[in-house]
Structure 1
Amino acid sequence: MCAPVEPAAPALSFSIAPGGCLALLGDRAADLSRLLDTLAGHLPRVAGRILLDGRDVTARPAGHRGLGLFSARDPLFAHLTVRRNLAFPLEARRMARPAVAARVDAVLALLGLDGRASSRPRVLTPQDEWRARLGRLLVFAPSVLLLDDPFAGLERVDRVAMRRLLARVARAQGLTLLLTTGDREDALLLGDAIGVLSGRALLQIGGAAELFDRPACDRVATGFGDANALTGRVAWVEDDLASVRLASGARVEAMAGQGLAGDMLCTLCVRPDRIATLFPAGRPGADDDGEDTLPAVLAGLHHMGDHIRLRFRLEDGQEVLVRRPPAQNLTGLVAGRAARLAWQPAHAVAFPFRGEMR
C-alpha cells in the first residue's frame, strides 16, 4: 500500500495478490514514474506504509525492500558486456564470484541471452537490449517487480514479443508485478486487475469486465472504455434506472450512476459496440415512432479490419461512434443516410455532470 508522494496529491491505496499483476493505467507518465520511485525508495514518501508479505518495509532503504524497479531511465553500461552488466550489481554487493557466475548464467538462460553474453549494448537488437535490462534486475531475485512503462520506445513487433516474454518469466518465477503504463493494451493483456488514474487520482480498480461494463465515473467510461459521452438532463430516476432528455431533445434510458437525481445535468456514457443502428427505408422521418431511439445522420464510415467504424451526427450536432462486425453489409451506407440509434438501458450509464458535483 502507498500514500501520496506530495502533500497535495490524493492518497493511493491498493494491494496485489502474490504472483499477480496490478496494472496502473494513467495519463501522466511523470506521475507514474514518481509513484514507482517512491515505492522503490528513491524518493521520500509523505505518509502511509508499504507492506510486503505483511512486513512493513517503508523505512528500509532502496535496494533492501524486495522491490525491483525496471525503467528505461536505467540503461545498460555501454562499455560492459551483457554478462558484466548483469554481474556488476552483484559484485558491487561483494557477492562471491562463484555465486555471481551461477546466478548470471541462470538468468541468461532464462531470458535466452546465452548467445549474447559477450556482446556489448551497441550491437544488441532492441529485444536483446530489453532482455538484458530485465536480466540485470532479475539477478537480485526480487519478489516484486515495479515496471515503469516497460515497453516505452519499442516498435510494435518488439513490444508484443517482450510483453509475452515478461508474462512467461513472471509465471515461471512466481513474480508479483506492479505495472504502470499509458497503453491500455499493456494493461489488458498483463493485468489481473487494472487501476485507472486521472493525473494522480485513482478512479477505479477492477477487472477488465468491471471497468468496461460498470465504470465508476464518466472518466473511466470514456478514457478506458472509449464510451460516447452525451450531455442531457435527468427526467426521473427509479431504482437504478434513469430517463434522460438529451440536448437534441430525444429521450433515452440508462442505468443511474451514483449520486444521480432528477432534474440534474448528466453525462450519459454508452460504448460504441453497444449501440444498435436502424436505417429506415424511404424519406427521412419514416419509422420515427420509436420514442427511445435517436434520430441521426451517418457522417462517415471506415473499415478498420476487425470492425467497421460508423460516425453519426445527432440533430444537435453531437457525434456518436458505433462499432460493427466487419461482416456487416455496407451496401447503401453512404454519408447523409438517415438512421436511428438505440441501446438497452443496461448498456449505458448516466453520471452526474461534473459541474453538478462541485
Structure 2
Amino acid sequence: MKTCKKCNLPETYETIVFNENGCNICVGTNKYKNIDWAENKKKLLNLVNKYKSQKGYDCIIPFSGGKDSTFQVHYAVKELKLKPLVVRFNHGFLRPKINSNTERFLKKIGVDFIDFSPNWKIVRFLMEESFRRKGDFCWHCHTGIFAYPLRLAVSFNVPLVIYGEPQSFHSQYYNVDEFEKENIEKFEMLRTLGISAEDMVGMVNERQDEKISLRDLEPFSFPDEKEFIEKKILPINLGNYIKWDVKSQVEIIKDLYGWETDELEGVPDELNPYGSKIECFMQGTRDYIKYLKRGFSRITQNSSQLINDGVISIEQAKKITEANEGQIPPSLDIFLDFINMDKKDFYEICESMEVYPHKRDKKKNYKISKKTSDFDKWFKVK
C-alpha cells in the first residue's frame, strides 16, 4: 500500500488524499497550529456568557472519564466558570481504572453527574447487527454518546452542549479551522454508519427471536429536529475555540485530580503516552477489525500523530508498526462470546469489507498480543 511520505498513514485511511506536502491529514494538523487562538478564545467567552444561567445548569458536558472529557469538565468549571450537568453514556465496556478515575475526579471537582446505561440486551443486538452490516460493532456507542446528551439538553432546556475534539482532528470531512456543528446532518453522516434507528429495528427483528421497537432505540436517536431547533440547542467542540494540546491537558488532569493513564490492548506503551482510548476494553478488538479491513490499526494512527508532533521519526514509526501491526487481541474472544459468533464468521465478515488495495495475508502466523493487567476484571459472558 502507498503511505504518506511524512506521517506514514496508508492510502486506506478514511478521507486521505496524498499531495506534494505529504497528505491532507498531516497538512491539516500543521494548519491547526497556526489558527488565531486568541481570537477564537474571545468567541468562546462571548458565547458562554450568553448561556450562563441564574438557575439550573449552564451547559451539558458529555463525559466518558477519558483524558479529553475530563479536561472538558475541568476547563468549563475552572476556566469558564460554568455550572455543568455532566452526562456519561455508559456503553457497557468501561475499564476499572476509568471508573476509579471518574469517581476520584467527580468528587474532587464537584459537579452533578448522570450515568446512563442502556438496556444490555438491546446493546448486544445492536452490536451484532452493526458488525454484520458494517464491520463496526460500535453503532450503539457512536450514536448514544452523541444522541443521549442532546436528548437531555432538549428535555432539561439546557441549550449549550460542550464536546471536546472536533472531527477534523481525525479526518478531513471538515477543515481544521471550521467551527463544526453537531447537528442532524453530521449525526447521520458520521455517527449512524448509514443505518437509521428505523432501519436498525427492522434489521434486528429479521434476525432475533426477541423483537425490539423504535421506542427501545430512543437513547441512540437524535432528538426531534423541530424541538431541537426551537429550543436553540447549540453543541460546540471545545477544540475549535482553544488550542487542543493533549500533552499539557493530560499533565493538568494528572496534577489536579490524580487522573491515571493505562495500557491499551495491542499498542506499545511508547505509542500511547497520553492514554488515548483507554476507556473501553473492546478497543483492542475494534482496532484489530480496522487492521483486517484496512491494513492498519491504532498503532499506525498513534505513531502518525507522534510523527506530526515531533516525538518520533517516520523511520522509528515504521519499525514499531512493522513489528506490532496485526496482532490478535485477547478481547476478541470476549467480543465473539458476547455476540455469539464463531471466528470463521468473524473473519469472513471482515474479509468481505477489505478496502482495496489491502489484502490480509492469511498464511502469516499472527501473534496474540499480551493481556493487559486488568484483563481478568473485564466482563465476560462465559
The structure where helix makes up a greater share of residues is 2
Return the TM-score normalized by structure 1: 0.22
**Structure showing the higher strand proportion among its residues:** 1
